[in-house]
Amino acid sequence: MFQKRALITGITGQDGAYLAKFLIEKGYKVTGTYRRSSTRNFWRLHYLDVKKDISLLPVDLLDQTSIMHALREVEPDEVYNLAAQSFVGDSFAEPQATAEITGIGSLRVLDSIRFLNPNIRFYQASTSEMYGNANQTGQSENTPFHPASPYANAKLFAHWNVVNYRKAYNLFATTGILFNHESPIRGIDFVTKKITDGVARIKLGMSEKLLLGNLEAKRDWGFAGDYVKAMWMMMQQSVADDYVIATGETHSVREFCEAAFSRVGLDYTKYVEVDKKFLRPHDVVFLKGDPSKAKRILGWDPSETSFISLVNMMVDADMEKYQNPERQMKQFLKHI
Ligand code: NAP
Ligand code: F7E
C-alpha cells in the first residue's frame, strides 16, 4: 500500500510533536529534524508518545547542505517547515539570528525543494504576528501586514517568498497564518505556559509571585492539537493558498491570568505583578483572526477547544507535573 512520507522541520517543538502524532495516526511515514545540541531535547515526542514511531535526522536551517541531505534521504511527499526561532521577545535581543533562521532558513528549504524535486508539497508556518498593530478590529487573509518585531519581519520575508515561489516556479507552497496556539507542551517562555506553570507553583507553595509584562495585550488563543490538523488540510487541497487559522475570539493576558488562577481557587490580583523587564520594545496589542476562509474551503472547525478548556487543560497539566514528579522523571530518563 502507498504510504505518504512527511518531513517535519522543528519536530522537537510544540507543533512538530502534535503534527507528528496527527500524521502518524493518518498512516504517514514521519521523519523529523532536530538540531544537534549537547542535551537531547525529545521530551515533547515522549510526552505525546510518538518518539518510537518516527525517524529523526539532524538538520539546521542555517545549513543548506543538511536540508538537502534530509530531502534526498527521505524523499518526502510533504514538507512542513515548522523550525524557527519562534520567541518574539528574544527576537529583539537576537535580530540577526532570527532573520537567518526564521527568514532565510525557510528560503533555504524552499530553494532546496525547487532544485531537488519541485513536486514536493511545502507548508510554511506563517504567523498572526505579521499583522502587527495596524488593524485593531480583526485580521483575515486580506488584512495588510505591518510587522512589529524582528521575528515578524523574518516571518514576513519567508511568507512572501512562499507566495512568490508558488507563482514563479509553480510549486505547491502553502502558508498557514496561524494565530497563537498553546498546549501543555508549550515552551515556558510564552505567556500562557509561564502563567499556568506559575499558577501551579504558587498553589503548591513553591512560589509566591508571578512577574509578567503587558497584561492588556490581547491574543486569539487556540489549542495546538486543533491547529496542526489545519496544516494537513491545507496540504491536501488541489491548489496551494494562504489561510488564517484562528478561533475568532480574543482575550487579554489579564483574562488568561484570571481564568488560570481561578481554576485552582486563587485570585490572580494577589499574585501577579508587572515587571518592566518583561515589557517589549514594541508589542502587538490586539489580535483576533477571521478563520472564515479555512472554515469554508478546508472545512476546518475553529471551535473544537474553547478558551476555558484550553486554560484548564494547561493548568491541570502543570499541577500534575509538580504533584507527580515520578512521571516526569520517567519521561526524563527515557530521553537520556
Ligand atoms: P517552538 O516550540 O519554538 O519550536 C520551534 C522548533 O524549531 C524547535 O524544534 C526548534 O528546535 C527548531 N529550531 C529552532 N532553530 C532552528 C534551527 N536553526 N534549525 C533547525 N531547527 C530549529 O515553536 P512552535 O510553537 O512549535 O511553532 C512552530 C512554528 O510555527 C514556528 O515556525 C513558529 O514560529 C510558528 N508559529 C507558531 C505559533 C504558535 O502560536 N505556536 C503561531 C504562528 C506561527 P529546538 O527544540 O532545538 O529549539
Ligand atoms: O506573548 C504579553 C506579550 O510570548 C503574548 C509565538 O508563538 O504567538 C507567539 O508570539 C503576549 C504579548 O506570544 C509576558 O507582550 C505579558 O503581547 O506568549 P507570547 P506572542 O508574542 O504572541 C505568535 C502567533 C507566534 O508566531 C510566535 O512564534 O503576552 N506578555 N507578559 C508576555 N509575554 C511573555 N512571553 N512573557 C511575559 O511575561
In degrees, rounded to 5, the angle at the alpha carbon of residue 159 between the alpha carbons of residues 155 and 163 is 175
Average pLDDT over residues 115-119: 98
In this predicted structure, what is the pLDDT of residue 222?
98
Q: Is the CB of 196 under 6 A from ligand 2?
A: no
- The residues pairing with 57 across neighbouring beta strands, listed in sequence order, are 33
Helix axes 307-323, 253-263, angle to 10 degrees: 50
Q: Are 307 and 249 in contact (CB under 8 A)?
A: yes
Taking the C-alpha atoms of residue 234 and residue 166, their distance in angstroms, rounded to an integer, is 14
Q: Quick count: other Cβ atoms within 10 Å of Cβ 193?
A: 20
Q: How many Å lie between the centroid of ligand 1 and the Cα of residue 16?
A: 8
307-323 vs 325-334: helix crossing angle, rounded to 10: 90
* Nearest-angstrom CA–CA distance, 268 and 259: 9
What's the CA-to-centroid distance between 82 and ligand 1, angstroms?
A: 6
- For ligand 1, is residue 247 a contact (CB within 6 Å)? no
Per residue in 235-251, pLDDT tens?
A: 999 999 999 999 999 99
Choosing from 7, 81, 86, 194 the residue with most ligand 1 atoms within 8 A of its CB, the one to mutate for a pocket test is 86
Q: Is the pLDDT of residue 336 over 90?
A: no
Residue 83 Cα to ligand 1 midpoint, Å, equals 4
Q: Quote the pTM value.
A: 0.97
Cβ atoms within 10 Å of 204's Cβ, excluding its own: 13
CA separation, residue 173 to residues 24, 80, 195, 261, 292 (Å): 22, 10, 36, 42, 21
Provide the pLDDT confidence category of residue 329 given band limits of 50, 70 and 90: low
Tell me what the mean pLDDT of segment 259-267 comes to: 98
Mean pLDDT, the chain, integer: 96
The residues spanned by each domain of the chain are 5-182+223-245, 191-219+250-286+304-333
Give me the mean pLDDT over the 138-149 stretch: 96
| Residue 335 confidence (pLDDT) above 50 | no
Question: Where residue 331 falls among pLDDT bands split at 50, 70, 90?
Answer: low
> What are the residues whose beta carbons fall under 8 Å from the beta carbon of 5, sequence distance 6 or more?
28, 29, 31, 74, 75, 76, 77, 78
Report whether pLDDT(109) > 50: yes
The response to whether residue 283 sits with its C-beta less than 6 Å from ligand 2 reads yes
The whole-angstrom separation of Cα 66 and Cα 318 is 36
Whether the CB of 280 sits within 6 Å of ligand 2: yes
How far CA 60 is from CA of 3, 47, 196, in Å, comes to 27, 23, 31
Measured in angstroms, how far is the CA atom of residue 190 from the centroid of ligand 2? 5
Q: Which CATH class is domain 191-219+250-286+304-333?
A: alpha beta
Quick check: CB of 48 below 6 Å from ligand 1? no
- Beta-strand ranges (E) seen in 139-280 are 173-178, 181-182, 210-212, 218-219, 222-223, 242-245, 251-252, 272-274
Please determine, looking at this structure, whether the domain spanning 5-182+223-245 carries the CATH number 3.40.50.1820: no
Question: Taking each helix axis from N to C terminus, what angle separates 191-203 and 253-263, rounded to the nearest 10 degrees?
Answer: 30
Supply the pLDDT for residue 134.
Answer: 82
| Cell numbers at 22, concatenated | 496527527
Determine whether the shortest distance from the Cβ of 225 to ligand 1 is under 6 A: no
Q: pLDDT > 70: what percent of the chain? A: 97
For residue range 80-96, what is the model confidence (pLDDT) as tens digits?
A: 999 999 999 999 999 99
Which residues are catalytic, by number?
A: 127, 129, 151
C-alpha cell at 133: 498593530
Q: How much of the chain exceeds pLDDT 90, in percent?
A: 93
Question: Which pLDDT score, from 0 to 100, does residue 302 have?
Answer: 84
pLDDT digits (tens, 9 = 90+) for 291-301: 999 999 999 99
